[in-house]
Structures are given as structure tokens and as C-alpha cells.
Amino acid sequence: VVVQPSVGAAPGPVITPCPGKVRYFKI
Amino acid sequence: VTAVPLLGYREHNCDDPEAEQVALLAVDHINNHLQQGYKHILNRIDKVKVWPRRPTGEVYELEIDTLETTCHALDPTPLANCSVRQVTQHAVEGDCDFHVLKQDGQFTVLSAKCDSTPDSAEDILKLCPDCPLLTPLNDTRVAQAAEAALTAFNEKNNGAYLQLVEIARAQLVPLPASTYVEFTVAATDCVAKEVTDPAKCNLLADKQYGFCKATVAEKVAREEVEVTCTIFPAQPVVPQPQPGVAGAAAVEPAPAVDPASPVSPPDGQSPSSLVVGPVL
């Protein structure tokens, strides 16, 4: 998250880009 | 002094549409180069890194998980129509590493490496205590079941004598005690009902393959065989250009089907009419 130095960054959800979604099932 | 930026990689979101496009291309690459076993389908993208390439283009470094389908590698059924092998059938997973070049909007597989692993027996038995597990293909009961099934099929078959090509998977079923086996066959130049010496039969020049599923139950002093075979229409294979990159490796070296001219099914039958069975 990029913010101006004077503005505090709001805590947001942590994005986990990988691994991706499981399409069928995980074994 | 001009600062030279480092040529590092950038990470991609694994569910990014372009990452998915590259992953689907990678799965096609696997299936197009399989000669044995079953087609695989994309289950998850594990990791994507994109490296800049000199002088132009980008290289995708990709890790993907795949799952085995029920379509054999020689089966011309499109992957989209193939079912994923369920956990209760003892599913098999693939782990693959790929390098894919993107240049001028075109994607080319530079290297591919896959390992496949069946689900753990413990996991399956937790979910389904009575499910039969995969049996090693060199088990004598498996070989005997495949031979018995093919013999039974050839005895009832009005077409070409079929030879065993590959045993693809097998399970020992506890109740009723039996062996379930799946195997591929190839048509020969002999007529099944006229064969006296199978050793004199030759595979057709335009190879025609089939896929059989059989259950062989041991009864007192006899075997009970149930077998169904599907003969695939011969598929013309267009050789795919591969880049001449040093160190590039394919999953399997040869195309799935011999690059032969297409052959019409015997007697002008449609492929669906070639599904025969069960033979009891």
C-alpha cells in the first residue's frame, strides 16, 4: 500500500497472491 | 555513470488471467506429449515468476498442481470432457515446473518437468475405509487379469485381434474378491476369431489403439471376466514446433499417437459404435 508520508496506512487484508485457488480438490 | 537496473523477476498473482493462460498451455503441453498413463487437468497454480528476457520477451517460471483424469493419454476425447479421477478411486496428483517464453504475444514452452504421486493410502482410507487402493502394475494378479480379460474380449470380438499395449492402473478389490484393471490395446492385422498363433499378428501400420476396463473375479475352478473395450479412431497428429533451446526438456519425448494418416473405423462405423461390451 502506497500512502503519503503524512497519512497513516490503514490496515487492510493481507493479499496472498500465491498459491492460487484449488479447482477440484487438494490431495 | 548510468545506473543499470537489475533484471529481477516480478511475482504474479497465481489467479491472474495471464498466469492461468500460461498454466493451461502448460497442461496442454503435458497431455500432448504423454504416451502412457492418463491425461492431467489443472488443479492449482502454485507459483508464478516472470523474468525479463534479453533481447526481448519474458519467461514465465511456473509451478502447477494437476490431477489425473479418467481419459487415457491415447484417448482423443478433449480434456474439457474428461472427468477428474475422484479421491475414492485413488486419485493421482502431478507437480510440474515449467518455463514458458512469451514473445510477441506468443507463448512457447521452453522446459517442463513433472512428477506424479498417488494420494496416500491413509488419506483415502480415512475418507472411504472400503475403497480399493492402487496396486503396483507389476503384480502378477494384475498381469493375469489383463491377459484373461483381453483373451475373453478377443474370443467374442468380430473385428481385429487386439494386443495388449500397456496396463494403466489396477486395484485389488476385497469384496467380492476380484482384480480391477484398465489397459490399452492395439489392433493387429489378424481377425480375432481366426487367430491361431498371436505371435504372427502385426500391429497395423496406421496404429489403432483402444482402452479396456475389466474386472476379473476368481471363482472356484474358474474366472469370471467382465470387460469393456473402446477402440479409438486413429488421430492425425500435427507435429508441434519446439524451440531449439539448449537444456530444454519435454515431459515425454514423443507424440501421443503415431503421426499416421487418419483411418476410418472398420465397416464405416462411427466411433461410438465401436464401444463393445460388457463381455461376460
* Tens-place pLDDT, residues B9-38: 888 899 999 999 999 999 999 999 998 999
Work out the minimum CA distance from A27 to partner chain B, whole angstroms.
6
Mean pLDDT of chain B: 85
Average pLDDT of the residues in B102-126? 95
| The pLDDT of residue B14 | 96
According to DSSP, the residues that pair with B116 across neighbouring strands are B94
More confident residue, B272 or B165: B165
The angle subtended at Cα B152 by Cα B150 and Cα B154, nearest 5°, is: 65
Residue A15 has pLDDT above 70, yes or no: no
pLDDT digits (tens, 9 = 90+) for B189-219: 999 999 999 999 999 988 999 999 999 998 8
Residue B69 has pLDDT above 50, yes or no: yes
Range of lowest pLDDT (B5-9, B44-48, B141-145): B5-9
Average pLDDT of the residues in B101-130? 95
With an 8 Å Cβ cutoff, are B46 and A22 in contact? no
With an 8 Å Cβ cutoff, are B44 and A17 in contact? no
ipTM (interface predicted TM):
0.77
Residue B248 has pLDDT above 60, yes or no: no
Residue B233 has pLDDT above 90, yes or no: no
Nearest-CA residue of chain B relative to A24? Answer: B43
More confident residue, B10 or B6: B10
Q: Residue B169 — very low, low, confident or very high, per pLDDT cuts 50/70/90? A: very high
Residue of A15, A21, A27 to mutate when probing chain B, most B C-beta within 10 A: A27
| The pLDDT of residue B263 | 33
Residue B245 has pLDDT above 60, yes or no: no
Average pLDDT of the residues in B53-64? 95
Residue B229 has pLDDT above 70, yes or no: yes
Spatial distance between the Cα atoms of B62 and A10, rounded to a whole number of angstroms: 33
The residue behind cell 503396483 is B136
| The pLDDT of residue B265 | 36
The 3-class SS string of chain B reads: CCCCCCCCCEECCCCCHHHHHHHHHHHHHHHHHCCCCEEEEEEEEEEEEEEECCCCCEEEEEEEEEEEEEEECCCCCCHHHCCECCHHHCCEEEEEEEEEEEECCEEEEEEEEEEEEECCHHHHHHHCCCCCCECCCCCHHHHHHHHHHHHHHHHHCCCEEEEEEEEEEEEEECCCCEEEEEEEEEEEEEEHHHCCCHHHCCECCCCCEEEEEEEEEEECCEEEEEEEEEECCCCCCCCCCCCCCCCCCCCCCCCCCCCCCCCCCHHHCCHHHHEEEEEC
Nearest-CA residue of chain B relative to A27? Answer: B119
Nearest-CA residue of chain B relative to A25? Answer: B43
Q: Residue B8 — very low, low, confident or very high, per pLDDT cuts 50/70/90? A: confident
Q: What are B159's three cell numbers?
A: 473385428
| The pLDDT of residue A9 | 61
- Chain B interface includes A21 (CB < 8 A): yes
